[in-house]
Chains A and B, each alone.
Chain A
Amino acid sequence: MKKLEVYDPAMCCSTGVCGPEVDPVLVAFAADLKWVADQGVTVRRYNLGQEPQAFAANPAVVKEMEAGMDRLPMIVVDDQIVSTGIHLSREQLARKLGLTTTDEPPRATGSCCSPKSRCC
């Protein structure tokens, strides 16, 4: 069985609603992980603020963090780091895991782009 691990920066909660402003990307990502898990993939998500032991236990992850905290979030598939600094979309996750997205991937309304790009 495939294994997907996500190493998140220190966040109050997984959807980001506890931050000063909700981030639709985080909300969608949480839903996408749920979808990935439903496809039979083992999903583990670690938050630096809550589960630092998971970070400390993975030398490759610590090495990336030493290069810069902007490497978080890190996505690891079967012990290989497949992306740094970004929450992948459902399609991207599916590609990395060799899954097919059958139904329309649900996206957050009004989030044609990342909030940081300020086009919305």
Chain B
Amino acid sequence: MTLPPLGTRYAFFTGKGGVGKTSLSCATGLALAESGKRVLIVSTDPASNLDEVLGTQLSSTPTAILAAPGLFALNIDPEAAARAYKERMVGPYRGILPPAAIASMEEQFSGACTVEIAAFDEFAKLLGDPGATAGFDHAIFDTAPTGHTLRLLTLPSAWSGFIASSTGGASCLGPLAGLEKQKALYAATVAQLSDPAMTTLVLVSCPERSALREAERTRGELAELGVTNLRLALNGVFAATAPGDAIADALTARGREAVATMPPALETLPRSETPFLPKGTVGLEALRAMSAPQTVEPPYPEPLEPGAMPPGLDALVADLAEAGRGVIMTMGKGGVGKTTVAAAIAVSLARRGHRVTLSTTDPAAHVADAVDGDVPGLTVTRIDPEREVAAYRDEVLAKAGGGLDAAGRAMLEEDLRSPCTEEIAVFRAFARTVDDGKDRFVVLDTAPTGHTILLLDAAEAYHREVLRTQAEMPEAVRSLLPRLRDQTFTRTLIVTLAEATPVHEAERLQRDLARAGIAPFAWIINQSLLASGTADPVLARRGQYERPFIDRVVADLARRAVLIPWGRGHEDERVQRSSVSAIRASPRHR
């Protein structure tokens, strides 16, 4: 059981949300600092909890972690970076251009792309400019959840290519044209990322099939981007101390099976493993335990207080079913099991005789794997960004590109390669899916929190755009936001785990949703070891740590709470091949 060794100046920890990127990057940074190095830990995750893990209030400049000499950390808040960027671009023209002009400029800087790019801009400053981290031996990046990270990482190569090939002034870097000046910085960033002597990329995963598949997907995409210095870090490795406990045996078997069947290319990477810890990983002491040999405290099992637990999923589904139609969205930080919960709800509604569409916007799309067999009345669809972009591109070219000359067509195609295009294409698909809820149930397993918020933000921006331009707009798009806000049409379910970080993130999500005018219908606490009835000493101890979080959700946060014991739905991991192929063969969403 070790931490990933780091020989390079820069390291990135990437992986599905909830696998322990922050914990592992902090534990690695702490170990390096304790060996006498000066280390900077950087988070670019919009849902970062670096402050919490390190027990220090952080800012956008390096802050010393007092209890760990040599260790520094900083937090890049992409939204704050976007606001600062917007002010930098618009501010100088206040009082010079008319207020209406200022307002329309600001509108252009409130889209999802601006947040994305402003964050990347901050990140490039650290990576592309060696002077920015000159005082440190190592800079460790605890990056955002995978989809988000990949977009950040993909941008420089897309942009380098784009900026180089762009002719004339009609470029489509969108509201970010001002960044073209930073070409040299971006080029340096790309060079640093793909230089194996400078940068190590740690794929953080855990012994679960879906997490390992996700790691493999990331590995492939990074390899395509020219990043070759990759390592695999398996976190949360568990083996039951003694056989006989059903939950512990299942968890052990699941982990062994997942590791034994991991994708071959992943298996060839240098690997390090860290154990499943009965305590969380918040605080320096807990971080040290990730690398130090763990002594498990003696088994305590105390009987649990009966009757003090929230009910299971059945009663919630019964109430959801009453509406007979509408949209159900499961939301939460990546890794909390939104997909499994969405699939369980969709299957249960279908078994009650309703027509149900289960759909995902999660780029990793585990949803197809999570449905247990073919259920009559249930259709599974997926919003695949690549296909949506291709469809949108074809549509635009057919509609507007037909009569253009070669030069005009080339210009249009160039604009269609912009980062905004994906955002728009996915948004349109999302709006169509929500529209289906008019006469059936639509269960949406949404993407991880940061992305979801961006999506809703995009919905808001488009909503305003729709009202302003009166352009030809599909009815589905026009009515999206009112529908998401209509509590009789859309039921938002917040999925969380009974642990510090997930509950904290879910609370933030609930606040963000409130700002968008959306009130969650219920909270679902998933994968509870406490409710599972396990008597394994490590798992039962971990279960005990859930108690205060469950109480807090019930008492302070949720209008209505549901508790799902660990193990329910995990048979989905062993989904039959037949059902997967049946889902794959199902017609794509129109």
Measured CB to CB, the residues of A under 8 A from B are: 9-15, 17-24, 27-28, 30-31, 33-35, 37, 44-45, 47-53, 55-56, 62, 65-66, 68-69, 106-111, 115-116, 118
Contact = CB atoms under 8 A, between A and B. Distances in A.
30 contacts: A12-B111, A12-B172, A14-B171, A14-B415, A15-B172, A17-B400, A17-B415, A17-B421, A18-B172, A18-B174, A20-B466, A21-B471, A21-B473, A22-B400, A24-B399, A27-B400, A28-B403, A28-B404, A30-B170, A31-B404, A31-B405, A44-B169, A45-B169, A45-B170, A49-B175, A52-B90, A52-B105, A68-B100, A107-B403, A108-B399
Question: Would you call the interface of chain B mostly helix, strand, loop, or mixed?
Answer: helix
B470 A116 contact: yes
Interface of B: 89-90, 92-93, 96-98, 100-101, 104-105, 107-109, 111, 168-172, 174-175, 177-178, 396, 398-405, 407-409, 411-412, 415-416, 418, 420-421, 424, 462, 465-466, 469-474, 477
A91 B178 CA distance: 33
Contact of A13 (B92, B100, B172, B462): B172
Contacts of A30: 170, 408, 411-412
Given A12-B172, A27-B404, A106-B405, A18 B411 contact: no
Contacts of B418: 13, 17-18
Nearest to B417: A17
B400 A108 contact: yes
Contact of A50 (B96, B175, B402): B175
Nearest to A32: B408
Given A12-B108, A22-B399, A116 B471 contact: yes
A66 B93 CA distance: 14
A56 B97 CA distance: 6
A49 B466 CA distance: 18
Nearest to A107: B403
B415 A65 contact: no
Contacts of A17: 172, 396, 400, 412, 415-416, 418, 421
A118 B462 CA distance: 20
Nearest to B175: A49
Contacts of B471: 19-21, 23, 115-116
Contact of B399 (A53, A68, A110, A116): A110
B408 A31 contact: yes
Given A14-B172, A19-B465, A115-B471, A50 B177 contact: yes
Given A13-B418, A49-B175, 8 more contacts: A17-B400, A22-B399, A23-B471, A28-B404, A37-B168, A107-B403, A109-B399, A111-B400
B505 to A, nearest CB: 30
SS class of chain A's interface: helix, strand, loop or mixed? loop
A49 B109 contact: yes
Residue among B100, B403, B465 with most chain A CB within 10 A:
B403
B472 A18 contact: no
Given A18-B174, A62-B98, A31 B399 contact: no
B396 A18 contact: no
B178 A108 contact: no
The 7 closest A-B pairs by CB, nearest first: A31-B408, A109-B402, A13-B172, A49-B108, A50-B177, A18-B420, A27-B400
Most buried by B among A35, A52, A56: A52
A12 B412 contact: no
Given A12-B420, A13-B172, A18-B424, A31 B105 contact: no
Contacts of B477: 20
Given A108-B404, A118-B472, A10 B411 contact: no
Contact of B415 (A13, A20, A68): A13
Given A10-B105, A48-B101, A22 B408 contact: no
A108 B191 CA distance: 41
A15 to B, nearest CB: 5
A13 B174 contact: yes
Nearest to A33: B170
A104 B407 CA distance: 15
B118 to A, nearest CB: 15
Contacts of A11: 108
A27 B412 contact: yes
A27 to B, nearest CB: 4
Contacts of A21: 471-474
A44 to B, nearest CB: 7
A53 to B, nearest CB: 8
Report which residue of A9, A13, A19 has the largest number of chain B beta carbons within 10 angstroms of its beta carbon.
Answer: A13
A118 B472 CA distance: 8
B104 A9 contact: yes
Nearest to B474: A21
B389 to A, nearest CB: 11
B399 A65 contact: no
Nearest to A37: B168
A116 B473 CA distance: 11
B472 A115 contact: yes
A111 B403 CA distance: 10
A69 B101 contact: yes
A19 B402 CA distance: 19
Nearest to B420: A18
A84 B407 CA distance: 26
Contacts of A18: 172, 174, 415, 418, 420-421, 424
Which of A20, A107, A110, A115 has most chain B Cβ within 10 Å?
Answer: A20
B116 to A, nearest CB: 13
B522 to A, nearest CB: 32
